[in-house]
Every structure is written in structure tokens, then in C-alpha cells.
């Protein structure tokens, strides 16, 4: 009986403990009908006998210690770290939002720093560009000096051409003071004496007409006297004289006698004078072409230090003066074959290169203008030749004598 009572007590105690531990609500309809007071007394007796009551008391003590420890930690850390679920979630979302705002701010600072750095780089590039655009190359000064020399020499050469033309036109027109004014024989004697004085040949010297100079014989018949050099020799006027005398033999070696006096007042003399004026006009145009060639090679401008150095580099003897063609050739050769110019070109900033291009275009325009003037003269010469050919093709008609009216 005691064993059965112990089993019942143990079973009941297990059910109560299970219900307590699992917090399970039992189905009251399934519970057996028992005496609660007897069971309670049996449980207490069994707990005291087996030591279960001591275990329960120990568990309560541990639970109380844990709760007290958690309370102490919560008090030490503060209510913002630990709390209920809503509080923790709110704090978590708030922290994430703070992180997002901090990230946006950091990105903004990074963007500002990038923009500032890029602006500084671009400003540095612009400063370098401004510096390059305001930096002059030594070649710019040389180009300016050379350009001024060429311009001045060009103006002086046209004056020289006009001065030569004033003399040659008077000679060709047989005006007073020229040999042909006295007759064609005088004109032939004058040009012959000029040749023997300046350009005596060996045969002429052997005939006893003159004294030969081997360096100058027959220079009035050599084309190199007029077109062989860029600038005539400065030591004397022999170079210019030889070029002018060659042009004389080329265009008009012998000037026809002047029509003057009684010959000019007659009807036939006036008719001849009309033809003579046309002849003079053609000769003047032809001689103008030669005069311009001579003037372009006549020294008319002082050379600069750079031009003298350029002459030395070309193997020429440096001179203190040069001609329009000489200055032009020096400037062209300086750019086409000058090592100093090409070395400077490699180091030139963009602005200086553009200035050089502009200078080249200006020089090309100047050459084109000179070529245009020369082409005009060639066109005039061609027109004169065409007129001469047309006149030669025209068959002459029989002319009737002009009646003379005698006064009564």
C-alpha cells in the first residue's frame, strides 16, 4: 500500500512539475479526480525526503541572481542601449539613418574636393596657356627685322628703277644732251667708246683700241652681269654699271637720230615723228622690265646682325648692305635651311608658331605683289610685240605725195 501511494505521489508530482516547467494548460477533463490536500502533503513529504525542495530553492536563487545582475548591467550601461524591442528597433533605424546621412555628407565632401582639384588643374592649364600666348620667341624679333628690311628695300628698289628709267628714256628718245640728238653716228660712237673703256676684249686690245681687263672683258654682253647675283658688289659701282650696260645692249644698243629742226616741221617729218613716238614707247616698256631687274639687285638697305650671320652660314662674305632681292633671299633661306630657326620652332609655344605662320603669309603676299607687278610689265611687252606683228602683217598702201600749198 505504501508503494502504490509512493507511485501515485511521484506521478502526480511529475505532472505538476511538467505543467509548471512547460507552462502548459492541462485539459481539466482529463485530470483524475484526486484529493488535493492529500497530494500536497504527500509532495511535501516526498520533496523533503528526496531533496527536491532544495533543488527548487537553488533554482530560485539562481534566477534571482540573474535578474539582479541584468538590472545592474542595465543601470550601468543606461536605458538607451538595452530596452524593449520597439526601443531597440527605433535606435537601430536611427543609427542607420545617421550612417546614411554621414555617407551623403562624405560623398558631398568628396565631390567638392574633386571639383576643387579639377578646377585647380584646369586653372593651371589656363595659366600655362596664357603664359605661352604672351611669350615671344626670338624668331619673332628676327622675322620683324627681316620683314622691315625687305619692305624698305622694296620701296628703295622702285625708286632706283625710276631713276634709271629717267636716264634711259632720255637716251632712247634722243633728247637734247644725249648722243643721238646730234645724229645716229654720234650714238654709235658713244656706245662703242663706252664698251672700249669698260669692257675691252682681248681682240680689241690686240687691235690697239683699248687695254684689256680680264675680269671685265665683254661684261656688257653677259647675262650674268644683270641676273647672276642677288646683290651687286658694294666696293664700287662696276656691278650696277655692268648690269645697266648689258640691258642697253639687250634692248637698244643704238639709238636712232632725233627728228628735229626742218625735218620735224615738214609733213613727212611729222609722220616719221609719229612712228618714232610709238618706237620710243615700246623701248621704254622693254627697258622698264630690265630696270626693275637691276633695281631689285641694287643695294638699298643696311643688313642686320642676324642677316650677316645668315650670309656667313651660306658661305657668303658678310656685307653692310644688301638689295631687296638679297634681303628676301636671306629671309627665305633663314626659314628653309636655318638650323637656329628650326631649333626655335621646336620649342615655340602655339602663339609663336601662329605668329610665324602669319609672317610667312605676309611674306608670300609681298612676293605675290612683286610678281603681279612684273607680270603686268610682261603683259605690256607682249602687247607691244603683238602690235608690232599686226603692223608687219598689214600690207602698205601706195601713198600719194602730199601737195604743197604755196602762198601767193
Domain definitions of the chain by residue range:
2-67, 139-390
DSSP string spanning 223-265? THHHHS-SS--SSSSHHHHHHHHHHHHHH-SSPPPP--THHHH
Question: How many C-alpha atoms does 57 have within 13 Å on its Cβ side?
Answer: 6
Q: Could you give the CA distance from residue 14 to residue 24 in angstroms, rounded to a whole number?
A: 13
Distance in angstroms (rounded) separating the CA atoms of residues 355 and 351:
6
Cα 147 to chain centroid distance, Å, stands at: 19
Whether 314 and 227 have beta carbons less than 8 Å apart is answered as no
DSSP SS3 for 301: strand
Helix (H) or strand (E) holding 361, with range, is: helix 350-393
Within its chain, how far is the Cα of 82 from the centroid? 75
338 and 190 in contact (C-beta within 8 Å)?
no
Please give the backbone phi and psi of residue 293, each rounded to the nearest 5 degrees, phi first. Answer: -65, -45
Place of cell 598689214: 394
Dihedral sign computed on CA atoms, order 137, 141, 144, 146: negative
- Write out the chain's pLDDT in tens, 408 residues: 444 444 444 454 455 445 444 455 554 445 555 556 666 666 666 666 666 667 677 777 877 877 777 666 656 555 554 556 667 667 777 888 888 888 888 888 898 888 988 898 888 888 777 766 666 666 666 666 666 677 777 777 888 888 999 999 999 999 999 999 989 999 999 999 999 999 999 999 999 999 999 889 999 999 889 888 888 877 778 889 999 999 999 888 999 999 888 888 888 888 888 889 988 998 998 888 889 889 888 888 888 877 787 788 777 788 888 888 888 888 777 777 666 766 677 767 777 777 777 777 877 877 887 787 788 778 778 877 877 776 676 655 555 455 555 554
> C-alpha 384: how far from its chain's center?
46
Grid-cell match 537553488, residue found: 58
Up-side HSE of residue 180: CA atoms within 13 Å toward CB? 17
Q: pTM of the predicted model, to two decimals?
A: 0.60
Question: In the block, which residue shows the cell 604672351?
Answer: 134
Tell me the β-bridge partners of 322. Answer: 301
The CA distance from 405 to 146, in Å, is 70
CB 306 within 8 A of CB 145: yes
Amino acid at each position: 500500500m505504501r508503494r502504490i501511494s509512493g507511485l501515485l505521489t511521484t506521478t502526480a508530482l511529475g505532472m505538476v512539475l511538467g505543467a509548471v516547467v512547460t507552462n502548459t494548460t492541462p485539459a481539466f477533463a482529463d485530470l483524475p479526480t484526486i484529493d488535493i490536500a492529500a497530494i500536497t502533503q504527500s509532495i511535501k513529504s516526498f520533496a523533503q525526503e528526496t531533496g527536491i525542495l532544495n533543488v527548487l530553492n537553488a533554482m530560485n536563487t539562481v534566477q534571482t541572481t540573474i535578474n539582479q545582475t541584468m538590472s545592474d548591467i542595465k543601470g550601468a550601461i543606461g536605458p538607451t542601449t538595452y530596452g524593449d524591442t520597439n526601443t531597440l528597433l527605433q535606435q537601430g533605424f536611427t543609427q542607420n539613418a545617421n550612417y546614411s546621412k554621414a555617407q551623403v555628407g562624405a560623398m558631398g565632401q568628396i565631390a567638392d574636393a574633386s571639383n576643387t582639384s579639377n578646377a585647380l588643374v584646369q586653372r593651371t592649364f589656363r595659366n600655362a596657356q596664357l603664359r605661352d600666348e604672351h611669350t615671344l620667341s626670338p624668331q619673332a624679333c628676327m622675322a620683324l627685322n627681316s620683314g622691315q628690311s625687305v619692305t624698305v628695300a622694296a620701296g628703295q628698289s622702285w625708286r632706283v628703277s625710276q631713276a634709271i628709267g629717267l636716264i634711259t628714256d632720255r637716251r632712247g628718245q634722243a633728247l637734247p644732251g644725249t648722243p643721238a640728238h646730234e645724229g645716229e653716228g654720234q650714238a654709235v660712237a658713244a656706245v662703242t667708246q663706252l664698251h672700249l673703256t669698260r669692257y675691252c676684249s682681248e681682240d680689241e686690245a690686240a687691235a690697239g683700241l683699248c687695254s684689256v681687263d680680264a675680269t671685265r672683258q665683254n661684261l656688257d654682253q653677259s647675262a650674268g652681269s644683270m641676273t647672276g647675283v642677288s646683290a651687286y658688289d658694294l666696293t664700287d659701282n662696276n656691278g650696277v654699271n655692268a648690269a645697266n650696260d648689258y640691258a642697253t645692249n639687250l634692248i637698244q644698243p643704238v639709238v636712232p637720230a632725233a627728228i628735229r629742226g626742218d625735218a620735224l616741221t615738214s609733213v613727212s617729218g611729222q609722220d616719221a615723228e609719229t612712228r618714232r613716238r610709238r618706237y620710243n614707247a615700246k623701248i621704254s616698256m622693254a627697258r622698264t622690265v630690265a630696270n626693275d631687274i637691276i633695281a631689285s639687285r641694287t643695294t638699298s638697305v643696311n643688313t642686320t646682325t642676324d642677316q650677316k650671320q645668315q650670309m656667313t652660314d651660306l658661305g657668303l662674305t658678310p656685307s653692310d648692305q644688301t638689295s631687296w632681292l638679297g634681303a628676301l633671299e636671306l629671309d627665305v633661306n633663314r626659314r628653309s635651311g636655318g638650323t637656329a630657326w628650326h631649333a626655335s620652332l621646336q620649342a615655340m609655344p602655339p602663339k609663336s608658331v601662329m605668329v610665324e605662320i602669319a609672317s610667312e603669309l605676309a611674306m608670300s603676299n609681298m612676293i605675290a605683289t612683286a610678281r603681279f607687278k612684273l607680270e603686268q610689265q610682261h603683259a605690256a611687252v607682249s602687247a607691244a610685240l603683238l602690235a608690232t606683228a599686226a603692223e608687219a602683217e598689214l600690207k602698205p598702201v601706195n601713198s600719194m605725195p602730199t601737195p604743197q600749198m604755196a602762198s601767193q
